[in-house]
Amino acid sequence: MSHVVLLGDSVFDNGAYVRPGEPDVLAQVRASLPAGWRVTRNAVDGATTTGLERQLAHLPDDASHLILSIGGNDALGSSPILGESARSVAEVMSRIADIRDSFARSYGKALDQVMARRLPTALCTIYDGCFPDPEEQRQVVTALSVFNDVITREAFLRRLPLIDLRLICDQHEDYANPIEPSAKGGAKIANAIVEVVVGDILFPRSQVYAH
């Protein structure tokens, strides 16, 4: 029997954000998996790459597939840079490069911990979110590209499947608020997860899942 484990942050732990009576991502994955499959959520709202070890310490003994969506809160923690002043574009780029380098180290270390379990694993990009101010949305998407570059590089270097949440949660209705998935968005995320785990994830190659 296969047992999928969801690791990461509120992308998978979104029960507090969906409307009353609507399913969260865990329930949607459970409802979509083939008969006999199980799913467990170790993901925790607010988690960052530095806290992933705690989730891995509680993996079920029979875990067969790992799905990781993390990094959004790391990006959120770096968001004050958007309000900082600078003397030149070069100075801005240097600050962004510092943030990227720090995230690359942290994400790589977290992924090393995941891969040490020697289980089929898929990664997720950070979605673009849905901010009411168009200019803020542009800034967020641009800033997140730095973090998503790290994630996509790791996926391809390690030959892991990649669920591109930027292309999956691409409508206003996919979000319960600017940074959390709604039940509609969660259903799309769940469908992508199921597509990955019941497909050819056991083959050591990268494949992008978008729609």
What is the pLDDT, as a whole number, of residue 25?
98
In the chain, where do the E strands start and end?
3-8, 38-41, 65-69, 121-124, 162-163, 175-177, 180-181, 208-209
Judge whether residue 34 has pLDDT over 50. Answer: yes
Residue predicted with more confidence, 204 or 92: 92
3-state helix, strand, coil in the chain (%, to 5): 45, 15, 40
Judge whether residue 126 has pLDDT over 60. Answer: yes
What is the pLDDT, as a whole number, of residue 93?
84
Residue 209's pLDDT band (boundaries 50, 70, 90)? low
What is the pLDDT, as a whole number, of residue 200?
54
- Measuring CA to CA, how many Å separate 46 from each of 11, 24, 153? 10, 16, 24
Mean local confidence (pLDDT), 23-49 = 97
What is the pLDDT, as a whole number, of residue 205?
59
Residue 94's pLDDT band (boundaries 50, 70, 90)? confident
Judge whether residue 78 has pLDDT over 90. Answer: no
What is the pLDDT, as a whole number, of residue 79?
78
Q: Which two tokens stand for residue 11?
A: 């992308």
- Compute the distance between CA of residue 154 and CA of residue 19 in angstroms, rounded to an integer: 34
Judge whether residue 86 has pLDDT over 50. Answer: yes
Q: For the chain, give the mean pLDDT.
A: 92
Q: Where are the domains of the chain?
A: 3-209
What is the pLDDT, as a whole number, of residue 203?
52
CATH topology assigned to domain 3-209: Rossmann fold (3.40.50)
Is the CB of residue 2 less than 8 Å from the CB of residue 38?
A: yes
Q: Which two tokens stand for residue 79?
A: 């968001």
Residue 190's pLDDT band (boundaries 50, 70, 90)? very high
Residue predicted with more confidence, 209 or 3: 3
Residue 202's pLDDT band (boundaries 50, 70, 90)? very low
